[in-house]
Amino acid sequence: MEFLTTSEAADYLRLGERKLYELVTTGAIPCTKVTGKWLFPRHELDLWVLSGLARPAGMLTAEPPPVVGGSQDELLDWSLRESGSGLGSMSEGSARGLERLQRNEVMAAAVHFHSLDADGNLASNASATALRDAPDLHDAVLVAFVRREQGLVLPPGNPKRLRGIADVLALGARMAMRQQGTGAQMLLDVLLKRAGASTRDLRRIEPPALTGPDLAEMVRAGQADCGVATRAAARSAGLDFVPLVWENLDLAMRQRSYFRPAMQALIRFLSERRLRQRAEELTGYDPSPAGQIRFAA
């Protein structure tokens, strides 16, 4: 992230430095103080300007409800409560969350898209690409929440000795599925593709689970031998876990929503020590990127 000095920020915004200091003292502009000097993140200055755009009456759009859609995550659900943001959650998977964001039905969507790059490796910018390609999201911004560990959720003791997707295929293990459009199912699809297989080659257990905890419950109840979910979901259910990848879980929103009080309450909370402590307790999380802007249209 690029930071501007006070004089650079004043020039960038075409304001006098005195006016800029007035905005700083009233907390009206995004900034931070480092060793006695004010610094201004360029990306957030852009969002700050865009969020205040005046629009003709015919262009006004209804405010989205204070809801975060998309992927389910235990640390995110906890953060929504503990931050005092007043934001609710609607867990339907990354693709469905992005669709609701496009229709202005949610204020933000938690997303973790997966795809393969030209070399057959997991693409590091799949979520940013999904936002860039989404219709009616020309004003999108992607804010990092955490990195988290995804892998195989297994019965205690891992009785089938599964160590990866290759073992699942070779042993015909019963695989609990997630519904299409979820990040976990996208991850399974690309891992299978990399192994030269598809879901048709799996011994699938239907119907698909709505969330990671639901999938973990299927494994705990003996309905499936394994499934793809987070380490935190496995731990909460008392299950074994074999790691497969670390992934980015991000919050997608429109630029005008970024500075809304509810969203700012959540974003401020992302820098608090409590979040890092809770992430350590749940296991399988890396909160170091929390709050960073990964992409802005």
Q: Mean pLDDT, to the nearest integer, of 230-243?
A: 97
- For position 275, what pLDDT does the model report? 97
Task: Find the distance separating the first CA and the last CA of the chain, reported in whole Å.
Answer: 15
| Over residues 289-293, mean pLDDT | 94
Residues 109 and 94: beta-carbon distance below 8 Å: yes
pLDDT grade for 190, boundaries at 50, 70 and 90: very high
Average pLDDT over all residues of the chain: 91
pLDDT tens track for 98-155: 999 999 999 999 999 999 888 888 888 899 999 999 887 888 999 999 999 999 999 9
Q: What is the pLDDT of residue 89?
A: 93
Percent of the chain with pLDDT over 90: 68
Which residues are within 8 A (CB) of 11 and not within 5 positions of it... i.e. 6 or more apart? none
Question: Is the per-residue pLDDT at 245 higher than 80?
Answer: yes
Evaluate whether 72 touches 51 at the Cβ level (below 8 Å): no
On whether the CB atoms of residues 187 and 178 are closer than 8 A, the answer is no
Given a contact cutoff of 8 angstroms between Cβ atoms, the answer to whether 169 and 197 are in contact is yes
Spatial separation of the C-alpha atoms in residues 16 and 157, rounded to whole Å? 66
For residue 174, pLDDT over 50 is answered with yes
120 vs 233, higher pLDDT: 233
Bridge-based pairing state of the strands 203-209 and 88-91 = unpaired
User: What is the chain's length?
Assistant: 297
Q: Which of 4-13, 127-136, 152-161 ranks highest by mean pLDDT?
A: 152-161
Q: What are phi and psi of 64, to 5 degrees?
A: -70, 155
Question: What does the pLDDT read at residue 265?
Answer: 94
List phi, psi (to 5°) of 186: -60, -40
Instruction: Give the pLDDT confidence of 51-75 residue by residue, as tens digits.
Output: 665 555 544 456 889 999 999 999 9
Residue with tokens 């503990």: 82
pLDDT at residue 54, rounded to an integer: 52
More reliable by pLDDT, 23 or 268: 268
Q: Kindly report, residue by residue over 193-214, the tens digit of the pLDDT.
A: 999 999 999 999 989 999 999 9
SS3 state at 293: strand
Which long-range CB contacts under 8 A does 265-271 form with residues at least 24 apart?
265/83, 265/84, 265/85, 265/86, 266/79, 266/80, 266/83, 266/85, 266/87, 267/143, 267/291, 268/83, 269/79, 269/82, 269/83, 269/84, 269/85, 270/79, 270/145
Which domains, and CATH codes, for the chain?
A: 3-51 (3.90.105), 64-144+248-296 (3.40.190.10), 150-246 (3.40.190.10)
Check whether the bond before 207 is cis (ω within 30° of 0): yes
